[in-house]
Structures are given as C-alpha cells and as structure tokens.
Amino acid sequence: MSQDTASPPLARTPLHDLHVALGAKMVPFAGYEMPVQYPLGVLKEHLWTREKAGLFDVSHMGQAVLIAEDGRHETAAAAIEAMIPADILNLQPGQQRYAQLLADDGGMLDDLMVTRPANASHAGGLVLVVNAACKDADFAHIAARLPAGVRLAPRPDNALLALQGPASAGVITSLAPEAPQLSFMTSKLMPVAGTQCLVSRSGYTGDDGFEIVVRASEAAALWQRLIADPRVAPVGLGARDSLRLEAGLCLYGHDIDTTTSPIEAGLAWSIQKRRRSEAGFPGAARILDELQSGPKRRRVGIRPEGRAPAREGTIVLAADGKQIGHITSGGFGPTVNGPIAMGYVTASHAAAGTPVQLVVRGKPLAARIVPLPFVPHRFHR
C-alpha cells in the first residue's frame, strides 16, 4: 500500500486576498503562498522602492514575545543571551538589535531581531522576530533552553508590514505622526490609522523605512490605507531579494547557515564589547578566536565583468585557476545597473580589488572582489 507523500497545504497571510486582487504572482515560500511580484514587475518594483516607497507583506515571519515572570528586563536578557552573542542586557527601552541564534559550534541556526519594548506594560519582555522557514525550529530551540520563570509566547495572531524607501517617512506621517520621530533601530507602540501597532524604524532593503506589527484582523485595512498613497507601490519577494542583495544584507539559508559563523559572515559588528569580554554564548571559543586571529574565509561582494549574472552555487577561482570559494547570492542589481553577487572566499583573497574568475556555464568569467554594500545604506540615524 503506497503512502501519501502529498505536501501540506501552503499557509496564507492575512493579506492573501489583497495580493490576488492586486494581480500578484503567488509562489510557495517558506511554507506560505507569497507574492513574488505584482503587475509592475520586479525591476520596476525595486526601482520604485529606491525612489519612493514600497510596501511589503512580511507576515510570514515568526513573531514571539519572551516574557520574564518577575517583570525584570535583566531576567529576560540573561535568558536570551545564553543563546545569542548580542548584548541585550544593555538594550534600552525602545531599542532593537540584530543578532544570531547560535549552534553549539558557533554556526548560525538563524538570524533574528530582538526588541525591548518601550512601554511599561511590557516590562521584562522582549519581542523576537525570526525567519519564516526557521520559526518552528527556532521557537522549539529557544523554549527548550529557557530557565524557570521565563517563557516564550509565539504571536501567530500578528501580521507584519514593511514600508521601505525614501518617501516612507512622509507616507506614514499622516497615519502615525509619532513614527517619523523614531531613529534607526528604535521602536514604539503607537496608533497607526487608529489601530494600535508596534512601529520600528527598520527594514531589510538598506533604505529608510518602517516595520509595523499589527493585529492580523486589522492588517488588511492598514495595508489599504498605506497603498492608497500614490507614493506607495506593493512589492513582492523578487524585489525584496534584489534590494537586500544590493544592500549587502544576508539571507538565511543562503549567505548564512549552520556552517558559517558570524565572523566569517562579516557580522562581527553585531557582537558588542561586553559579550566579547564575558562570552557565555554558544560557540564562544570559535567566535572569539576568529575575532582575534581572523577567520579562514570571509563573505565578500563580487562584481562580475560584463552583463552575465553569477547565481548561487557558482564556483569562484583565483587568478591562477585555484578554487577559493563560491557564490551564495547573485543576480542583477537594478540600482547599479549590472550583475552583483555575494559569497565566501579564502581570507587571503578577500581584499577589495582582488581579481577572480567565476565559472558560469562551464566558462570562467572575469570578476573582482568589491566592498559591501553595493548601494550605500540610507538608514535614518
């Protein structure tokens, strides 16, 4: 008797029907049916976001609250610091921080955002946002390692919208006058179009922008209010990927995974001074050694010559033909009007300006190592 091997049905975000109504091309992604592009197309959606404001549905991401029963921030901070290398103890109310969930050997199980809410009613709590494809495993991993008196509460009843681009502050002003007062990587609970939301000045495009946590039941109404502004266009996963690649930002499962450490990935900036001196996080011996002595390989930017893009998995050769690494993300960069890529190469070949060759369709193509990001960040400091 044959077994049923049918895949489970794809989940849908609270905005699914609106995407379909807007003519989005829907594709499977991380267990969800998600918009990869709208009728405008990936290229124009990308450029629109760089010039105006793009609106993204990222409700598939995993949201949770880490709660210390004693109401003390120090208790929640100590619990999560046992799993990540970032300094959460010194996170001020309203601040958020980028971090990595570490395996015992210093590899990365996921990357995530950690926010300390500014409102007193959330004292002793931390808001976590993890990647969609990893959320079930992440939440199980975190929950299994929490001490008594600290619990993890997933928030599947929340949606998440991202408004990104230089016009985003102007767009959000009429709906949430407090929002433009936020600086990069800060957040506040505030009404947006009359609905209480957690708004942060953050995003994953390299541009100024906001991420808005809203109740799932209110998400469609908020999306429609935002999209009604002529400066705003809906943007799908296709342009989200090219935008973050131009910004030199890692995509979990591609540029970072359990085989890479934060130091190899160029994320040493996310490990603050106190954690470097005190350690106490998984893989600390490896990570601190790499901080001191340097890793054996490094994530770098790569610019192919000509117009042919180098995709994920492309082999990277030194000028003498020796294999020195591989591409982890690659494609066309609309803002720079040419092919761009990121990948790992041996540390001895990681200096900007180093000539390399990319094996594309069996042929070596000339390229060079370049600094990241490909497009300057425009975060609102």
Q: What is the mean pLDDT of each run of 10 residues along the chain (381 residues)?
A: 66 98 98 98 98 98 97 97 98 98 98 92 89 98 98 98 98 98 98 97 98 98 98 98 98 98 98 98 98 98 95 97 98 97 98 97 95 97 89
CB atoms within 10 A of CB 136: 13
Alpha-carbon distance 284 to 45, whole Å? 41
The reported pLDDT for the residue numbered 152 is 98
Phi–psi pair at 91, nearest 5 degrees: -70, 125
Handedness of CA 178, 179, 182, 188 (dihedral sign): positive
- H/E segment holding residue 359: strand 355-360
Alpha-carbon distance 220 to 216, whole Å? 8
Alpha-carbon distance 362 to 315, whole Å? 10
CB 188 within 8 A of CB 122: no
Predicted TM-score of the model (pTM): 0.96
Task: State in words which class domain 296-370 has.
Answer: mainly beta
Phi–psi pair at 345, nearest 5 degrees: -135, 160
CB 341 within 8 A of CB 353: no
Domain 16-56+157-246 has CATH 2.40.70.10: no
The reported pLDDT for the residue numbered 120 is 66
Report the candidate in 350, 365, 374, 260 with the shortest Cα–Cα distance to residue 309: 365
Query: Token digits for 188?
Result: 């506040």
Q: Quick: pLDDT tens for 78-132.
A: 999 999 999 999 999 999 999 999 999 999 999 999 999 998 667 789 999 999 9
Query: Token digits for 215?
Result: 């109740």
Q: Quick: pLDDT tens for 335-351.
A: 999 999 999 999 999 99
CB 176 within 8 A of CB 190: yes
Alpha-carbon distance 73 to 28, whole Å? 38
CA distances from 62 to 240, 278, 380 (A): 18, 29, 25
**3-state secondary structure at position 117:** coil
Q: DSSP class of residue 235?
A: -
Please list the residue range(s) of the chain that carry CATH number 3.30.1360.120.
Answer: 16-56+157-246
Tell me, rounded to whole angstroms, the distance of Cα 183 from its chain centroid.
18
Please list the residue range(s) of the chain that carry CATH number 2.40.30.110.
Answer: 296-370
The reported pLDDT for the residue numbered 1 is 43
